[in-house]
Amino acid sequence: MIFHQNKVRIYLLVYVDDILLTGNNTQAMNDLVGKLKSKFTMKHLGLAHQFLGIKIDRYPDKYFLSQSLYAKSILQMAELPKCNSVANPSITKPAALSPPPTPIFDAVLYRRLIGALQYLTLTHPDISYAVNALSQHMHSPEPLHTVMLKKLLRYIQGTVDFGLPLTRSHLNLTTYSDADWASDPITRRSTSGFCTFLGETLISWTVKKQTTVSRSSTESEYRALASATADTIWIKRLLADFQVSHTQPVDVFCDNTSTIALANNPVFHARTQHIEIDQRFVRDNIQNNTIRLLPINTVDQKADILTKPLNTPRYKLLRNKLTIGPNTQLAGAC
């Protein structure tokens, strides 16, 4: 719920029986709390330190969101509270593994763990690809998938205190779009991945297997780009609700030169007819100055971590670019 009157802005978030209230006028917020308490049975808990299992650490220049206790409960559920940690959540060459004769987790526990891990990605976007890949086998997990799940849990053991910082900075949006062409060895569908930053803060990310088979890397990249553009437009509208005006085009970075050329080419070709809607959608938003499509080197493509398993050095580099890590200020205080 949003309240705007003169210069007073109040935002009320309700999830079942949990309420989060924020705004720019403390007196108006206190008055609203008083009115709510007169009508409902409520308890005022003061400044927010935790919401829906997400811990909120406050600092002068940022907030830090984490789910340490929730991550530990997942390890406890898997009966791996003291397992050895690993530096990478994914297995880069699963075909080279020899799966065990029996699964490490039964199907019911596998589904429970994957469901819990999906919620953990709220502050752990670095595991989004691994969780997405394992989620595709929830109906019938094989022993190999349980091995991959165990490695993901061992990675969480070593990053249990990692989280997502919300840093005070400028309010310009930046989006990174990528795709891994024909990455699924069975269906040959591609994986889309994109993420959006508000200033230096990661605010949105998506990992999704595409619904149709792409016949080229350009086509798969273009489908990802269209989805990233739609998400960026939605975020701009959401910012408008918070009275944050974003009049300049949003910089969208793509590392596929053919996709960029196709988006900027005003001539429609018959060979791109199968992605005509996506093509026209992206092009219209470029012409309307909603987005500005820019090239980026593959090495610097932040969304690469959302589309495929990576070797450990590359994975750590992109994880840092996503700003995911431990609470440095808390560590420094210790």
> Looking at the domain covering 170-296, what would its CATH class be?
alpha beta
127: nearest Cα among 100, 158, 106: 158
Per-residue confidence (pLDDT) for residue 294, from 0 to 100: 96
- Over residues 85-96, the pLDDT tens digits come to 999 999 988 777
Helix (H) or strand (E) holding 203: strand 201-209
In contact, 200 and 166? CB cutoff 8 Å: no
Note whether 327 and 57 are within 8 A (CB): yes
pLDDT, tens digit, 9 for 90 and up, residues 175-185: 999 999 999 88
Query: In the predicted model, what is the mean pLDDT of the chain?
Result: 91
Q: 178 and 156 in contact (C-beta within 8 Å)?
A: no
Strand order in the sheet with 8-15: 2-5, 8-15, 18-23
- Residue 202 has a pLDDT of 97
pLDDT digits (tens, 9 = 90+) for 21-79: 999 889 999 898 888 888 888 888 888 899 999 999 999 989 999 999 999 999 999 99
Q: What's the CA gap between 283 and 277, in Å, rounded?
A: 10
- pTM value is 0.92
d(CA 215, CA 163): 38
- Give the neighbor-by-neighbor strand order of the sheet with 191-198: 201-209, 191-198, 173-180, 250-254, 291-295
Going by the DSSP 8-state scheme, the letter that residue 299 receives in this structure is G
User: Tokens standing for 62?
Assistant: 């940022």
Q: Give start-end residues of each CATH 3.30.420.10 domain in the chain.
A: 170-296
Average pLDDT over residues 205-216: 94
Q: Does residue 243 surpass a pLDDT of 90?
A: no
- Please compute the mean of the pLDDT values over residues 119-148 and round it to a whole number: 95
